[in-house]
Amino acid sequence: MVSPKFRNLSVQQHTGSTGLGYYKLILIVPILLGASLLASALANAKGAPESFAPLVERVMPTVVNVSSVHEVKRSPKDEQFNDLFKEFLERYNQGKPKQEGGRKATSLGSGFVIDPNGYIVTNNHVIEGASAVSVTFDNGDSFDAEIVGRDKKTDLALLKIDTEGKLIPSAEWGDSNAARVGDWLMAIGNPFGQNNTVTAGIISAKGRNDVTGNSYDNFIQTDASINRGNSGGPSFNMDGQVIGVNTAIFSPSGGSVGIGFAIPSNLAQNIVRQLKDHGEVRRGWLGVRIQHVTEELALGLRLDEATGALVASTTPGGPAERAGILKGDVILTFNGKPVEEMRRLPLMVAETEVGKVVEVVVWRKGEAVTVSVTLAELDDDQVAKAENQGSNNNEGDKNNAFLEKLGLRIAGMNNETRTELGLDNPEAGVQVSAVSSESVFYEKGIRAGDVIVEVDQQPVSSPEQVANLLEQAQSEGFGVSTLLVFRSGDYQWIAVRLPKAETE
């Protein structure tokens, strides 16, 4: 799913195909800078090389064109057309036997040799569904290629050609983490079928994680000119090392606007290594549902800053639950690395070896707690991801009056009702019976029927407890309370800014 920032834009997947058309998926790449703009950028950029020619001569033998053949099934309309013009077609074919089955279409992309024994990296969308794949080198040598493995989540694939025991020129991985915004970058590929085209630009940005809506997005953004057919091709640093695999574009019209994206090498080489060793990717799984820590949630959780990933729920029997991670914990560090924002955690977990014991630091009720978690293997339906966006029991006039002032009415629940709704804890939870449209609760999306399970990380089972905890937070001047709300089978943390306590 494309993020809101991209939803009104046309992003196209390229295979540079003939007969297949474009896939509306944000896959592969253009950026046509005008000649004058590129010349200006080259002239003004610090440390611009005198010429890219020596680097091109060194790495060009490692870059290949990737051609894949796809079977295109005939539609009923095709068959009707053939019947209508059968006589004409037979005359045109001059007695040649007719082709049976579907038509064939060829897609063109790019790739690069990453192992001298004949292993080649490209994009998954270049070869997905192909009945045959071949690669062609700069010197014209062509080989049939075997698909070793592919990973749809990161859009990477690994091919293998038979080199008959001979070692061939191969590229070297670089450190994409060490690459800086503003550093030079050189791309080589097969745009529009124009073999081994070289373009250059700079790294425009790093860590772009809102391009395709995938949890594993972490793209390098570049202004190097890359177009349809560049998919799967390498982006080199000035030491001739691959720091990115060209994959996607940002485009309002499908044409080039100067914003392209590459999979960073530090992510790609881990995926490629697993494809080579196992033919598939094995990702770590933590077993949590998480959400962003907003400024208001940070206040309510007594955090100094809005950082980390807030645990909305844990998967029963999953690694996180077994390790003692709780709803309401904020994951601050994972395996020794800070979780600066929620979207970083799924990628960090996925890149960690299955079965590894890692230390996780969580913020829990005002203090940091360290737990050890043994990661399990991720299944397709087990993804650490972000949260997307009943009888009355009057506990006293005082509490009701306080809640009424806040614009909230709450009804008690019994254990049986909680169990029927699917709450994890059948002894906690009160149901919202009414919300004033002018209240802060309504503003935050709380509606009648929602179940409040916790207030400021304290389980609640009665309206009295909700009122007491909200009043306590208000009187102590915190300004914000956090509510764990259960709705339609899912949990979500909501930060509510409380009005100041009235003084007498």
Instruction: Specify if 503 maps to a domain.
Output: no
Check residue 41 and give its pLDDT: 43
Active-site position among 204, 231, 251, 481: 231
Report how far residue 330's alpha carbon sits from residue 373's, in angstroms, rounded to the nearest whole number: 15
Report how far residue 261's alpha carbon sits from residue 203's, in angstroms, rounded to the nearest whole number: 10
The dihedral through the CA atoms of 158, 146, 281, 308 has a sign that is positive
φ/ψ of 75, rounded to 5, equals -95, 165
Question: Are residues 376 and 490 located together in one domain of the fold?
Answer: no
> Taking 60 as the threshold, does the pLDDT of residue 140 lie above it?
yes
> Taking 70 as the threshold, does the pLDDT of residue 323 lie above it?
yes
Question: Are residues 405 and 426 located together in one domain of the fold?
Answer: yes
Active-site position among 151, 155, 217, 329: 155
> Under DSSP, is residue 20 helix (H, G, I), strand (E, B) or coil?
coil
**pLDDT tens-digit readout, 30-89:** 333 334 444 444 444 445 788 999 999 999 999 999 999 877 655 554 555 455 444 444
Report how far residue 114's alpha carbon sits from residue 24's, in angstroms, rounded to the nearest whole number: 29
Q: Biggest alpha carbon distance in the chain?
A: 102
Instruction: Specify if 392 maps to a domain.
Output: no
Q: Domain ends where: 221, 254, 279?
A: 279
Q: What is the span of the domain harbouring residue 370?
A: 284-386
Question: Are residues 411 and 429 located together in one domain of the fold?
Answer: yes
Q: What is the pTM of this model?
A: 0.62
Q: Any idea what the Cα angle at residue 495 is, between residues 493 and 499, rounded to 5°?
A: 150
Number of domains in the chain: 3
Question: Are residues 483 and 424 located together in one domain of the fold?
Answer: yes
Question: What mean pLDDT comes out for the span 133-161?
Answer: 94
Instruction: Specify if 319 maps to a domain.
Output: yes
The yes-or-no answer on residue 155 being catalytic is yes
Question: Are residues 173 and 314 located together in one domain of the fold?
Answer: no
Question: Are residues 141 and 253 located together in one domain of the fold?
Answer: yes
Q: Domain ends where: 262, 279, 296?
A: 279
Question: Are residues 292 and 355 located together in one domain of the fold?
Answer: yes
> CB–CB of 222/31 below 8 Å?
yes
Residues in the chain: 504
Question: What mean pLDDT comes out for the span 119-141?
Answer: 93
Active-site position among 17, 68, 110, 125: 125
- CATH number, domain of 106, equals 2.40.10.120
The yes-or-no answer on residue 125 being catalytic is yes
**pLDDT tens-digit readout, 205-239:** 998 877 766 667 889 999 998 888 889 999 999 99
Q: What is the mean pLDDT of the chain?
A: 79
Question: What mean pLDDT comes out for the span 299-326?
Answer: 91
Check residue 89 and give its pLDDT: 42
Beta strands 156-161; 142-151: pairing state: antiparallel
> CB–CB of 6/211 below 8 Å?
yes
Check residue 242 and give its pLDDT: 97
**pLDDT tens-digit readout, 164-181:** 999 999 999 999 999 999
Question: Are residues 382 and 415 located together in one domain of the fold?
Answer: no
**pLDDT tens-digit readout, 408-454:** 888 888 777 788 788 888 888 998 888 888 888 988 899 888 999 99
